[in-house]
A and B are shown apart, each in its own frame.
Chain A
Amino acid sequence: MILVAIFLPLLAALPLGLMGTPSQGALVNAVLSGIVFILTLVAFAAPGSGLVHADELGLVFGGVTGFTGLTTAVANIFYLREAEPRLSLRRWRVYHAMCQVVLGSTLLGLYADNIGLLWAAVEGATIAATLAVSMPRTPSALEAAWKYFILGGVGIGLALFGTMLVYLAAQPALGPGFSAMSFTALAAHAPGMDGSLLTLAFVLILFGYGTKAALVPLHGWLPDAYAEGPAPLTTSLSGPLLNVALIAILRFRHLLEANYASGGTALPPGPFLLTLGLASLFLAAFSFSRRRDARRFFGFSSIEHSGIAAFAFGVGGAAAIFGGLLHMLLHTLIKSALLQVLIRAAALRGSTAPGHYGFSHLRGLIHSNKYTALVLGAAMFALTGLPPSGLFASEFIIISQTIQRSPWASLPLGLGLLLCAIPILRNFGPLVFGHAPVRMKPSKATPETHLVTLHLALSVVLAFAMPPMLVGLLSHVAEALK
Chain B
Amino acid sequence: MSLTFPLAHLMGGIILVFAFSLLSQRRLAAMITIYQIQAFVLSAAAFWQGYAQHEVNLYLTGLITLVIKAILLPIGLRQIVLRFNMIRAVETAMPVVLSMIVGVGLIGVAVLVVLPSTMSAVSLTREDLAIALSVVLLGLMVMVTRRNALAQILGFLSTENGLVLAAIGMPGMPFVAEFSVALLVLLAFLVVGVFLFRIREHFDTLDLTGIEEIERRGR
Contact = CB atoms under 8 A, between A and B. Distances in A.
15 contacts: A117-B176, A120-B177, A138-B202, A143-B211, A143-B213, A149-B188, A153-B188, A157-B140, A160-B163, A165-B129, A168-B170, A171-B121, A172-B120, A175-B172, A196-B118
A137 interface: yes
Contact of B171 (A114, A120, A142, A176): A176
Contacts of A176: 171-173
Interface string B145-189: 000010010001001100100110011111011001100100110
B176 A116 contact: yes
Given A145-B195, A171-B121, A139 B184 contact: no
Contact of A144 (B132, B170, B184, B214): B214
Contacts of B163: 157, 160-161, 164
B88 interface: no
A177 B174 contact: yes
Given A120-B184, A142-B195, A200-B117, A161 B208 contact: no
Number of chain A interface residues as a range: 35 or more
A298 interface: no
B149 A127 contact: no
A116 B174 contact: yes
A18 interface: no
Contacts of B202: 137-139, 142
B120 A194 contact: yes
Contact of A157 (B119, B136, B212): B136
Contacts of B213: 138-140, 143
Contact of A199 (B117, B156, B167, B177): B117
Main secondary structure of the interface of A (DSSP, over half): helix
A168 B129 contact: yes
A146 B143 CA distance: 12
Given A139-B213, A157-B163, A127 B143 contact: no
B83 interface: no
B217 A140 contact: yes
A173 to B, nearest CB: 11
Interface residues of B, number: 53
Interface of B: 113-114, 116-122, 125, 129, 132-133, 136, 139-140, 143, 149, 152, 156, 159-160, 163, 166-167, 170-174, 176-177, 180-181, 184, 187-188, 191-192, 194-195, 198-199, 202-203, 208, 211-214, 217-219
A86 interface: no
A137 B140 CA distance: 27
Nearest to A117: B176
Kindly name the residue among B149, B160, B213 whose own CB sees the greatest number of chain A CB atoms within 10 A. Answer: B213
Interface string A134-170: 1001111011111001100110011011011101100
A291 B219 CA distance: 6
A348 to B, nearest CB: 23
B125 A168 contact: yes
A71 interface: no
A344 B125 CA distance: 55
Contact of A149 (B122, B192, B198): B192
A160 B171 CA distance: 16
Nearest to A131: B191
Nearest to B117: A196
Contacts of A421: none
A292 B184 CA distance: 36
B212 to A, nearest CB: 8
Contact of A142 (B152, B172, B198, B218): B198
